[in-house]
Structure 1
Amino acid sequence: MTMEKLIRFAALAFFSIAPMAVATAQDSADYHVTVTLNWTEAAFPVGFPEDPHFSRFIGMTHNERFTLFADGQTASTGLGLVATNGRVSILKAELGEMTRRKRIGSVVEADALKAGAGVVQMTATLTSAHNRFSFATMVAPSPDWITGASGIVLNPDGPWLESLTLPLWVWDAGVDGGQTFTSPDDPLPVKESVRLAATPYFLHPAGLLPIGTVVFVRVR
């Protein structure tokens, strides 16, 4: 092959490969996820429990065909167990099945927070196929209350967001009839829908108070 043909071949190879490289670079993004909880007696004085804490955090990247929780929907068995006793094993089994169906991309976890206030950090890789992030943790002690975020889209307009900050609310998972932090177990015979926990514990004259925030920062 002559030198002229080699140059032409190299140029054609570059221009055919370069667009694919750009597309691949934009196909995924890494995010640092920082959860800041502010469940303190000063912020939530009504009936504040003696031992406020949060269970192990479990998060996942997923597509639009998976929902961790949503207002008006019923909780899965796995989410119900997270809400009532902080156990994640059944939810992880459910996520394994959703992974097999390609609805879940990856699962991330973080240790429990042994106080009502503190910071928890996770790292997640999102792709164009799994561009949403959700997570949950039990608000403990409680009958079946959780906090977290569900179905957060990190590329709503196409490009990946550089950062995003959202409030975290307390949700009632609808699987236990207890009304106070230390109510005895009262499993409901029929699940109720997931809903915001509009109890006096989390109410302010101006409305519901968020229990914290979640911040997504793109690192790649």
Structure 2
Amino acid sequence: MNPSYNVVLTLLSIVGYSSCLPLNEDPICTAEEIAKYSIVFTGRWSQTSFPKQYPLYRPPAQWSSLLGVSHSSDYHMWKKSDHASNGVRDFAEKGEAWALMKEIEAAGQKIQSVHGIFSAPSISSGTGQSSTELETHSRHPYVSFMVRIVPSPDWFVGIDSLNLCDGKNWKKSVSIDLHPYDAGTDSGFTFSSPNFATMPQGTVTEITSSSPSHPANSFFYPRLKNLPPIARVTLTKLKGKITSFLDIASNVTTTGNEIDENVSETPLDCEVSLWSPWGLCKGSCGSKGVKSRTRYIRMKAANNGTACPSLIEDKECEPENCV
């Protein structure tokens, strides 16, 4: 066989093989085998940043416990545009973690894609901090987690598959602003909406200032291009050994004014009802009378939003029942 022909075949085989390689894949992690990280979740859900329908009681704005996992690239706890699992649905709707933990454990046993599960305490207000520690492995360098927004139909914040390994090294620190997601399992528009299952089930979607595009949506702020971050997470690489389970379970949670961060003021325009029907024409026969209609405030303005318009309107009329 012609030697030049063999060279061509070899080149073609290399090109063919290269074309089958996945694009934009993260580099293989060759860092030290084990890395320890602290994870600090900071709630920024304040009435100043999110004044519309802000929950003040029954229950007030707060955060569920954080549930997370370190894993390989072939596992997803949840994923945008995909359907939520039964475990994710239970956690997003009710804050129940049992089914989700069972799903994580099953993935670890079946395809060995999970290295460890971690959790952090709940936060009893919309603003505050909660923290814990976690362990990653060079074959399991990804981190995912969820925190439920309470109260809400099925809304949560979290991260899907954050790679903490940068080739030969573990990343020293990562901070990410978080925005709300809809699990696609409940059809409520507001924080206090009753449970009404979405049929058929939708996919996980990010909630924005204009989507869902409905004035009843608790996150609907049409004057904003983007919602302010509702939370933030910071992961920092630690030196030495991870603390014991009891130390992790007893981590301190801080709330309220203990979080010293700049808070953006979101303007909220006044919302009023439709006009009522016109009332009776009041006046004396033979002269012009006046009739009125009214409307009421559905939502007060906040943070320099557009003020409420007049709530009463009059116009001239002919008195009724005049002979």
Shorter-chain TM-score category?
A: 0.7 to 0.9
Aligned to 1:86: 95
Q: Which has the larger radius of gyration?
A: 2
* Structural mapping, 1:176-215, within 5 Å: 176-198=186-208, 201-202=218-219, 203=221, 205-215=224-234
Residue 52 (structure 2) pairs with residue 42 (structure 1): no
Q: Secondary structure at the match of 1:123?
A: strand
Q: Secondary structure at the match of 1:66?
A: coil
- How many residues are matched? 198
Which of the residues 55, 59, 76 maps onto 1:67?
76
What is the CA–CA distance in structure 1 between the aligned matches of 2:133 and 2:30, rounded to whole Å? Answer: 20
- Alpha-carbon offset, residue 137 of structure 1: 1.3
Moved beyond 2 Å, runs of 4+: 198-204
- Alpha-carbon offset, residue 201 of structure 1: 3.6
Aligned to 1:28: 34
Percent same amino acid among aligned pairs? 26
Runs of 5+ unmatched residues, structure 2? 1-28, 240-323
Paired amino acid for 2:72: N
Which of the residues 158, 163, 170 maps onto 1:148?
158
Structure showing the higher helix proportion among its residues: 1
- Alpha-carbon offset, residue 156 of structure 1: 3.2
- The 8 Å contact of residues 62 and 104 in structure 1, kept in 2 or not, is answered as yes
Which of the residues 105, 110, 117 maps onto 2:120?
110
- Alpha-carbon offset, residue 146 of structure 1: 0.5
Distance 1:155 1:25, change over 3 A: closer
* Structural mapping, 1:109-148, within 5 Å: 109-148=119-158
Runs of 5+ unmatched residues, structure 1? 1-22
What root-mean-square deviation, in Å, do the aligned CA atoms of Structure 1 and Structure 2 show? 1.7
Aligned to 1:167: 177
- The 8 Å contact of residues 177 and 186 in structure 1, kept in 2 or not, is answered as yes
**TM-score normalized by the length of structure 2:** 0.59
Distance 1:24 1:179, change over 3 A: closer
Paired amino acid for 1:173: A
Distance 1:209 1:24, change over 3 A: closer
Cα deviations by residue, 1:26-79 (Å, 9 ceiling, x for unpaired) = 111100111111101011111111210111211110011111222211101001
- Alpha-carbon offset, residue 24 of structure 1: 9.7
What is the CA–CA distance in structure 2 between the aligned matches of 1:80 and 1:186, rounded to whole Å? Answer: 13
Aligned to 2:13: none
Aligned to 1:58: 67
**TM-score normalized by the length of structure 1:** 0.85
